[in-house]
Amino acid sequence: MLRFVCFITGADAQILANSTPASRVKYRTMAITTLVPVLLWFFAGMAISNSILNNPWYWSALIACLMAFLVFIIERVVINGSKSGWSFCFRFFLALCSAYLCGIAIDSLVFQNDIDTQMVSVKQNHLAEVKANAVAEYGRVNNLAGLEKNLQASSARVQHAETGYLQELTDGGGVGAALHGNGDVAKAKNNVRLQAIAAQNAAAEKIQQLQADAQAAGSKAESEAAAKFNNGSLLLRLKALHELVDSNPMMKRVYQILTCLLVLMEMMLLIKVFTSGECHYERLLAYQEWLGEQRLQRLKTQSDVFSPYANATLQEEIVTRQLPTRPRRIA
């Protein structure tokens, strides 16, 4: 059991075995809190890959093992890293992101049936948006807005021509007019009116044809989008989940409570590491580190003294002090 705990936490089995019981209890607790997010990620990866992405079970198992291994590495970093400065901020942010992503993954599994129901509405909205974008793009390419403005101008010209022609019919009688509306001016205004009407009809027909073509292009884009639409898309399912949560206050509360619970379960190790005091095992490691630093300092001092650039008198004095003189033999 102790070796398994040391494998999970990265502790030294020999030193931990010779430490106090409180140290062993602390590291057993840390091993358990390390396994909790690892198992959660394994379950989430297996279920998402198999149930939502419809992958074979062996691919799902491989993906779940990979995700669990990555989380295990992250948890090892949390245990064995420093507790001060930027290291703490980095570890806290890393653990928080891992916890939040795990919460989202498991929420997608818990509310799977509700998401499937909401996906019908998401698909309809998505297809309507695709069709609207295709119609707008076709109209932009063929300058449909400009043609509609020209049609409005043509309608104004037709109105002006008809007004002039009617005035000529009722109040006409200029040069070359024997009767009202039978003169050359009336005939000219009538020709202008007929030309304006023909231009208006041609513009209207062109716009109607372009609108029909735009609707056909939109329907084609909608059909292609419907064929490519995948109910197993993670981003679309997350979108459906958030739409469902926003529209239902009761479900929103349940979603928030479940997400907070999963995040806290993921953060247990981080909370344990940074709230528990230094145990006997950790003090032994710190003492070993201090001893190592002292030895390095002594070795550095000796290497500086005995280097070829050191003072020869200082070297001779140190050698005389360190090496005892041999007693003289009496004949």
| pLDDT 10s digits, 276-310 | 777 888 888 888 888 888 888 888 777 655 555 55
Integer angstrom CA distances of residue 196 from 108, 151, 183: 63, 11, 20
pLDDT band for position 87 (50/70/90)?
Answer: low
Task: Spell out the long-range contacts of 276-280 with Cβ–Cβ below 8 A and sequence spacing 24 or more.
Answer: 276/26, 279/19, 279/20, 279/22, 279/23, 279/26, 280/19, 280/20, 280/22, 280/23
> What's the mean per-residue pLDDT of the chain?
78
Average pLDDT for 148-170? 80
Cβ–Cβ under 8 Å, residues 251 and 114: yes
Alpha helices by DSSP H, listed for 11-56, are: 13-17, 21-47
Judge contact between 77 and 91, C-beta under 8 A: yes
Name, of 65-69, 108-112, 164-168, the range with top average pLDDT.
65-69
Total residue count of the chain as it appears in this document:
331
189: confidence class by pLDDT, cuts 50, 70, 90? confident
CA–CA gap between residue 262 and residue 268 (Å, rounded)? 10
Are the C-beta atoms of 42 and 65 separated by less than 8 Å?
yes
pLDDT attached to residue 178:
46
For 175, phi then psi, to 5°, come to -65, 130
With helix as H, strand as E and coil as C, how does 183-238 read?
A: CHHHHHHHHHHHHHHHHHHHHHHHHHHHHHHHHHHHHHHHHHHHHHCCCCCHHHHH
Compute the average pLDDT of residues 192-206: 83
First to last CA, the chain: 69
CB 34 within 8 A of CB 79: yes
Q: Reduce the DSSP state of residue 324 to 3 states and report it.
A: coil
The pLDDT of residue 322 is above 70? no
Q: What is the DSSP letter of 81?
A: S
Contact between 272 and 32 under an 8 Å Cβ cutoff? The reply is: no
Instruction: Report residue 308: phi and psi, to 5°.
Output: -65, -15
Block residue for tokens 């040391």? 6
Give the Cα separation of 108 and 98 in Å (integer).
Answer: 16
Output the pTM of the full model: 0.55
Q: What is the sign, positive or negative, of the torsion defined by CA atoms of 212, 218, 219, 224?
A: positive
- Would you state the pLDDT for residue 176? 44
Question: Do the Cβ atoms of 248 and 117 come closer than 8 Å?
Answer: no
**Location of structure tokens 């997400």:** 259
The torsion defined by the Cα of 84, 86, 91 and 94, in degrees rounded to 10, comes to: 160
Q: CB–CB of 79/269 below 8 Å?
A: yes
pLDDT over 60 at 203, yes or no:
yes
